[in-house]
Homo-oligomer: A and B are copies of this chain.
């Protein structure tokens, strides 16, 4: 009994993953807006109706991929958290990891960014959870930094967490949208901007 339902569960997950995988590939080829359900159906050899059995709308598919992206991002952060580093250095590494993630997984980061910039997109509980998990990890580390006296005394760790996340998203977005322009016109590389940002950011964070 249990075995059967477990298998079914697994198959169901597989099917969902097939759909997500297909959606991902399509978007990799055609961009976020190049996704369409007919194509997913064709690529998965599923009937269009079946897609709607697993996801109630195209947006839900995007939402699921966003969760996936956030989880991957979290995984990177968790790795860093496990390193033998001062909390404050972990946070620096987290920003760097975020940047690397954005460079390596363009699509995933586009999704993360999409949801960070759009209040119109609905977030399910799962999505909220995945977002929360990231914030919580960061805030955990922020509190540790505070305890270790690495944080400016006037800076509330929660505020700090939100600011870290907000500014990082903003910087990466800027690089995504204007990076090429900045490089060509101003002759500044993405890395230089990132370095300056880190410098500025942690300068402001430090205990005086």
Contacts and interface: CB of A to CB of B under 8 A. Distances in A.
Interface string A188-208: 100011001101111111101
Contacts of A116: 117, 173-174, 177
Main SS at interface, chain A: helix
Interface in A7-21: none
A118 interface: yes
Nearest to A171: B166
Contact of A170 (B169, B196, B200): B169
A119 B180 CA distance: 11
Protomer copies: 4
Nearest to A203: B204
Interface residues of A, number: 49
B196 A200 contact: no
A160 B200 contact: yes
Contacts of A32: 120
Interface of A: 31-33, 113-120, 152, 154-156, 158-160, 162-163, 165-171, 173-178, 182, 186, 188, 192-193, 196-197, 199-206, 208
